[in-house]
């Protein structure tokens, strides 16, 4: 009888130790890494903010992304006219390379890449303009599908406050609404002279220059205030 009781106690002790080990392992496994990222029960990471910079390849759950360049312009050619940035604002053109590393096609939008900067007090996110707004092949389609294994290099133009540094942010979103990590890429843009603005009209014919919009969430088509429309008629 004594042996049986002892054996039972040993089993209970072993089970208790095993449970403690499982709890400890789970706690350690869900501990945030240096970027604040944790691992969910299904193995997906979440909650982290992974920093990057221009030229650095960032590996997300769905694709690799690299910011190739960032340039600032005082003027920019949209579909309907050449626009002049409002005082204190700028047109920021960010060029990215995206490579699909997922096992299937990925539906994407230009709004996947959000711009931000230190001191931004706006409650609305800063999204950019793409091919539909500027009618240039090198710009990103507003909505598109990135094929499995496909790699594209496209640009986005943002209308933002004139700053020395910005961040381009992407957060992982899954079909089941699970939100993964955020990738925050710091960009220090190159300032481009006004007379070399993208697609600026340089002919001696009629030119239209319009003021930019103060509301960066509005489409350029909604801005109609004309600054100069004089041509060289003489």
Range of the domain at 219: 52-228
What is the model's pLDDT at position 17? 57
34-75 pLDDT, tens digit each: 999 999 999 999 999 999 999 999 999 999 999 999 999 999
How much is the CA Rg of the chain, to the nearest whole Å? 26
What is the model's pLDDT at position 229? 35
Q: Give average pLDDT by consecutive 10-residue segment, the chain, 234 residues.
A: 49 54 50 94 96 98 98 96 96 98 96 95 90 96 97 98 97 96 98 64 41 45 36 43
What is the model's pLDDT at position 231? 42
Say if 147 falls within a structural domain: yes
Q: Which structure tokens are listed for 112?
A: 């996947």
Say if 6 falls within a structural domain: no
What is the model's pLDDT at position 16? 54
What is the model's pLDDT at position 209? 57
Say if 76 falls within a structural domain: yes
Say if 201 falls within a structural domain: yes
| CATH number of the domain to which 104 belongs | 2.60.40.1240
What is the model's pLDDT at position 31? 87
Euclidean distance between CA atoms 111 and 127, whole angstroms: 6
Cβ neighbors of 36 (< 8 A, separation 6 or more) are: 47, 48, 49
Largest interatomic CA distance in the chain: 118
What is the model's pLDDT at position 193? 82
* Total domains in the fold of the chain: 1
Say if 155 falls within a structural domain: yes
Say if 159 falls within a structural domain: yes
Is 152 within 8 Å of 64 (Cβ atoms)?
A: no
Is 193 within 8 Å of 203 (Cβ atoms)?
A: no
Say if 33 falls within a structural domain: no
Which element (helix H / strand E) includes 20?
Answer: helix 2-29
What is the model's pLDDT at position 211? 63
What is the model's pLDDT at position 188? 97
Q: What is the pTM of this model?
A: 0.74
Euclidean distance between CA atoms 107 and 37, whole angstroms: 25
Phi/psi of residue 93, nearest 5 degrees: -105, 115
What is the model's pLDDT at position 15? 54
Which of 98, 54, 96, 72 is CA-nearest to residue 158?
72
Say if 11 falls within a structural domain: no
Q: Give 43's Cβ-side CA count (13 Å radius).
A: 1
What is the model's pLDDT at position 123? 81
């Amino acid at each position: 009888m004594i042996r049986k009781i002892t054996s039972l106690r040993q089993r209970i002790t072993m089970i208790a130790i095993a449970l403690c080990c499982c709890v400890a392992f789970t706690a350690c496994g869900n501990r945030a890494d240096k970027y604040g990222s944790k691992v969910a029960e299904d193995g997906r990471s979440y909650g982290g903010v992974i920093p990057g910079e221009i030229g650095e390849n960032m590996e997300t759950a769905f694709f690799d992304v690299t910011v190739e360049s960032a340039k600032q312009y005082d003027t920019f050619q949209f579909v309907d006219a050449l626009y002049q940035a409002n005082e204190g604002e700028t047109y920021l053109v960010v060029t990215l390379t995206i490579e699909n590393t997922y096992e299937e096609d990925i539906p994407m939008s230009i709004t996947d890449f959000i711009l931000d900067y230190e001191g931004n007090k706006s409650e609305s996110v800063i999204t950019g303009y793409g091919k539909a707004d500027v009618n240039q092949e090198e710009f990103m389609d507003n909505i598109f599908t990135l094929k499995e294994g496909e790699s594209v290099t496209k640009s986005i133009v943002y209308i933002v406050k004139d700053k020395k540094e910005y961040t381009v942010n992407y957060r992982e979103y899954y079909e089941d609404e699970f939100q993964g990590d955020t990738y925050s890429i710091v960009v220090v843009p190159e300032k481009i002279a006004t007379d070399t603005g993208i697609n600026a009209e340089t002919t001696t014919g009629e030119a239209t220059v319009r003021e930019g919009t103060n509301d960066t969430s509005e489409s350029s088509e909604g801005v109609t205030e004309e600054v100069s429309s004089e041509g060289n008629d003489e």
